[in-house]
Amino acid sequence: MKLIVAVVQDKDSNRLSDALVEHNHQATKLASTGGFLKAGNTTFMIGTEDENVDDVLKIINDNCKSREQLVAPISPMGGNADSYVPYPVEVQVGGATVFVLPVDQFEKF
C-alpha cells in the first residue's frame, strides 16, 4: 500500500479527479496554496496498492504535465500602450509534484 501525495494546479484539478474516478482510483483533495507551483493548487491524496502506483502516476502525468499554452494578448484598455504585446505569448501551465509514501498499515472502517 502507498499513499500518493500530488500537488497540482487548480486548473488541472477537476480533470485529474475525473480521470482518477474513471480508472477507479480513490482520492481526497486538500485545499492548498503556494509553494511547489506558483498558481493556486490542490493537493491530492491517493491511496493505492503497490502494483497500481505506475498507473496513478501515468494518470497524473497525462492530466497535469507541465506544458506551454498560447495566451491571447489583452488589449491595453486605457493602460500603457507601450507595453502592449499584439500577438499571443507562450506561458508555462500545469505541472505536478508527486510524493509516493510508504504505508505501514491501511484500515477502512
Q: How far is the C-alpha of 71 from the C-alpha of 91, rounded, in Å?
A: 7
> Residues 8-37 vs Ni ion: string with x where CB under 5 A?
---------------x--------------
Between 91 and 101, whose beta carbon lies closer to a second copy? 101
> Residues 6-45 vs a second copy: string with x where CB under 8 A?
-x---------x--------xxxxxxxxxxx----x-x-x
Q: How far is the C-alpha of 35 from the C-alpha of 61, rounded, in Å?
A: 19
For residues 2 and 13, the answer to whether their CB atoms sit within 8 Å is no
Q: How far is CA 8 from the centre of its chain?
A: 2
95 binds a second copy (CB under 8 A): yes
38 binds Ni ion (CB under 5 A): no
